[in-house]
Each structure stands twice: as structure tokens, then as C-alpha cells.
Amino acid sequence: MPAYFWSCAGYSRKGERPDNEDNYYLDGAFLPEGEEDTVPRTAGLRSKGVAAVFDGMGGEQAGEFASFTAADLLRQKSGELLSARDQDAFRNSVQAYVQEVNAKLRRRGEEMQATVGAAMALLRLKGREAMICNLGDCRVYCLRKGKLSLLTRDHTLAAFLQRRGDLTPEEARTDPRRHALMRHLGSDQGEDALQPFFRRMELESGDRFLLCSDGVSGSLEEAELIRLLGKGSPAAAAKALTEAAARAGSRDNLTALCVQVQLRLF
């Protein structure tokens, strides 16, 4: 009987920033607040699971708290996301998680009198199905048979203007409004700002997913993403992507999760 399994590795580094405001969630594991990896964290073959990347905002302790809080709460809520039987149930579980994280970040923001927020990209693999969602500018890609597909939607002002036709893709890539988030965890701009983008897809053996913060995706061209994502083990790919982004001049925190899907016969 055929079954789909996945393995994954995550790597996060502070890059040129004084602190690491990124975090990730990998099958129950995430980084202590503000820390970075010295070696990729790996998860062996799994039949189902949840992975996510978070990019904190607000500076120093605010951003670190936001990304850590989102990862920690995902650990508590991952069972609900995994048990969701269909797309509607998954959406409802994600939305409940988003609302709870948002409330925690809003309370801390009021205490600090500062913005405390985070972008998020999340992937659930179960059976032959992938569920993807995001808020902000963290991304999920899929590399399938040499072709790279972006599965998420950036919630930035520049991306919105591009979708409206006011900016070309080339203009949006360098426009200063590419960093202005219209949706994110910790928002006080109403329910619309807390509506994730969702996507569902069927898996194929050999699929390789990349979840990353914008420090990685904003620094590497598509050809380089394809070359590095498809090379070596998930751990080697995750580390190579962050190192390449640093060499390309990224001054942001750098986080990448690489997920490998394979079909096994029993």
C-alpha cells in the first residue's frame, strides 16, 4: 500500500541584525526566544505534520517575543490543525489559532506601548494533501520536477499594488513599500488584516517545499532558489539557502525550512 512521508530540516540565523527576530516550528520543536541555529534542526520521516516560519516585527524584544509566542502556541494547537478533516475545518482551526496569537501580541504591545507582530507561513502535510496558509510576507514554495511555484500571497502594500496593476513585478521587487505589511499577526486593523491566504494541493513523490522569511526570498533570484532547494538533503538545502542570502547582501534575519516528500510502498 503506498503512503506519503516527509522529512524536514530548519535553519535560522540572525544575519546582519543584532538579534534574531525569526522563529520556526518543526514537528514540535522551535527556537528559544531570540536564538539562532548553529546546525540545522531535522525531523525524520513522518506521515503527517505541521511546519511554519515566523518573522517577528517591532524590533529587539518585541519581534523576538512575537515570533516565539506564535511558535509556542502552534505547538499547543498543532493537534487541532492535524485532526482537521477537510479544508473548512482546517481554515477554522487556523483562524482560531491566529485570533489567539493576535490577542497575546496585542496585550504585549499595549504593555510595551509598541508594535508587536509577526508574519507567518504554515504548511500541513497529511495523507496526499498539503494545506498552505500565510499572513504577511513569509512564503511557501514548492519545487516539483525542476519547476518552482510560489504557493502563498504576500500581504504587503507593494504586492497589493502589483496585483492591482499599479506596479510591475520588477518594480514591486524593489519598491520600498514591499516591507509595509497589510496583514500580520498582532494587527489592530480589524478582521480583514487577520485573514490568512489559503491554498490546498495534492502531493507528488519528490516534491520539495521551502518555507522562508523574506530575508531569504527577498535576496535570491528564482534560479538560485531552484538550484539550492533541489540540492542535497533538506538540512543541506536549508543551510545553503540562508548562507546564499547572506552572501547576496541580505541584512535581515534568515530562516528556511526544507521539506522533502516521498512515496513509500508497504
Q: How far apart are CA 197 and CA 194, in angstroms?
A: 10
Q: Residue 106 above 90 pLDDT?
A: yes
pLDDT (tens digit per residue) in 216-257: 999 999 999 999 999 999 999 999 999 999 999 999 999 999
pLDDT, tens only, 14-47: 999 999 999 999 989 999 998 999 899 999 888 9
pLDDT of residue 45: 87
* C-alpha cell, 137: 510576507
16: enclosing H helix or E strand: none
Instruction: Tell me which of 7-11, 86-90, 151-155, 175-179 is least confident.
Output: 175-179
Question: What does the mean pLDDT of the chain come to?
Answer: 94
Question: How many residues can be counted in the chain?
Answer: 266
What is each CA distance from 146 to 6, 28, 238, 255, in whole angstroms?
A: 19, 30, 17, 22
The domain locations on the chain are 2-153+197-265
Contacts with 27 (C-beta within 8 Å, 6 or more apart), sequence order? 8, 43, 46, 49, 50, 51
Domain spanning 2-153+197-265: CATH 3.40.50.2300: no
